Amino acid sequence: MSSARSTSQDLGARALGIAIGVLADAVLGDPQRGHPVAMFGSWAGWLERKVYRPSRPRGVLYTAIAAGVPVVAVAGMDRLAAGRPALRTGLTALATWTALGGTSLAREGDRMADALESGQTSRARELLTHLCARDPSWLEPPELARATVESLAENTSDAVVAPLFWAAVAGPVGVIGYRAVNTLDAMVGYRSERYERFGWASARVDDLVNLLPSRVTALLTVVSAPVVQGSAGQAWAVWRRDRNRHPSPNAGQCEASAAGALGVRLGGTNVYAGEVESRPVMGEGNRLPEVADVRRAVTLGRSVGRLAAVVAVAGVGVVAWSASGPGRRSTRPVAGRITVAG
């Protein structure tokens, strides 16, 4: 088999596998038991207890081992699947489904909207812990709505766009590597006395692998603004103006574009594990989020996810078709002679 044909075949299997993984997430969501990410988290927690020291070198070692093991394992499986389109498609589909969390994210958003609309503030506070690490104990409905909108915007990138981006760019190895790094950041990448130094490497690697996906998320949010009766022009303007106000180089991209698309004001005072953070406002001049905006944020996230899936599958498909070009040979006789297919 020619190199061009092999490359085209592999990319075609990747595109099909991504599509199947997206459909699996849409139909099945996350498995309730035995989720591979949960099992990885348990193993990573065990590894942390073995290697922990309050130092950056130990954190680098931890990140390298914890992320490296699943990457090497999947790379080995991917190598075994070489030249076998069905196996490569299945591996890509499984990896993509494992890493995606769009359906579960939307369900959590809908549950939060249900709780807020029915006046169940205590229930809403409990649900917020499923979306972010913010302390919800003192939050009232307006602040719960703001926290939810911000979390949905950021997690649309982390749980949907970024996995699809890395699946498209690097196949099953890329998407599993991304999910491992993102999980480690959620476990040890936040600032606290224990993780200030140990979690530095996980947080920095997560920032790096999300640089491009977060900006793709922002662009897709701008495109999706009319779906929630928003203005693409306003979403673009707010994103360009406010995207660097957030302390995170990536979360600000997603939250600023969402603020513009929804026509709301995000940012303000947040409490994390007793630590108070005052963050600059994004979407300045707009109104504060209301309960109804939670539903709109869920719809916005779904639209962004669908567009990301289309772009990922179509993008890989186009590259696959292009890669097959040099290997194609015409079987039509030309000028009275027979041409043999190469």
The pLDDT value given to residue 70: 97
User: What does pLDDT average to over the chain?
Assistant: 91
Structure tokens at 273: 């594990």
Q: Could you tell me which residues come within 8 angstroms of residue 251 by beta carbon, excluding any fewer than 6 positions away? A: 154, 214
**Averaged pLDDT for residues 57-74:** 97
Q: Which amino acid is at 225?
A: A
Task: Give the separation between CA 155 and CA 108, rounded to whole angstroms.
Answer: 11
pLDDT band at 170 (very low <50, low <70, confident <90, very high): very high
Q: Check pLDDT > 80 for residue 34.
A: no
pLDDT digit string, tens, across residues 241-285: 999 998 889 999 999 999 999 999 999 877 776 677 778 899 988
Q: Check pLDDT > 60 for residue 337.
A: no
Contact call for residues 291 and 141 (beta carbons, < 8 A): yes
**Averaged pLDDT for residues 325-337:** 47
Phi, psi of 191 (to 5 degrees): -80, 120
**Averaged pLDDT for residues 137-157:** 94
Q: Check pLDDT > 90 for residue 292.
A: yes
